[in-house]
Amino acid sequence: AQSVSQHNHHVILSEAASLELGCNYSYGGTVNLFWYVQYPGQHLQLLLKYFSGDPLVKGIKGFEAEFIKSKFSFNLRKPSVQWSDTAEYFCAVPDSGGYNKLIFGAGTRLAVHP
């Protein structure tokens, strides 16, 4: 079965610092990858997604992620974080055997201090 690992459970940054959140997946076949964000008290929102093509994917709010097939990784990056980026971030991948069944990582809680 597919699995997703997020290595950083809690990250604390100051505003303007750069961000990189790690995500590794286990499946070696055709891969679709997602990053979702959950702001405090809000619902999960799609930040960006990778289907195929350019491994560097641009998302909303200045986020980007790079798909590195050889490392089974899909790390999320942002050059300069803001206080409003304080949220929980989830990496996800569709299960290898199921329709619309996403396997989520454990999540990374990001706190950005002014």
Partner 1 sequence: KAGVTQTPRYLIKTRGQQVTLSCSPISGHRSVSWYQQTPGQGLQFLFEYFSETQRNKGNFPGRFSGRQFSNSRSEMNVSTLELGDSALYLCASSLGTGEYGYTFGSGTRLTVV
Closer residue to partner 1 (CB): 17 or 38: 38
Among 14, 15, 26, 44, the residue binding partner 1 under the rule CB under 8 A is 44
Closer residue to partner 1 (CB): 19 or 35: 35
Query: For the chain, how many helices (H) and strands (E)?
Result: 0, 12
Closer residue to partner 1 (CB): 45 or 82: 45
| Positions in 54-93 near partner 1 (CB under 8 A) | 90
Q: Does 16 bind partner 1 (CB under 8 A)?
A: no
29-41 burial: b if 16+ Cβ within 10 Å, else e:
eebebbbbbeeee
Q: Does 32 bind partner 1 (CB under 8 A)?
A: yes
Spatial neighbors of 79 by CB under 8 A, at least 6 apart, are 18, 62
Phi (first) and psi of residue 55, to 5 degrees = -70, -15
Q: Does 105 bind partner 1 (CB under 8 A)?
A: yes
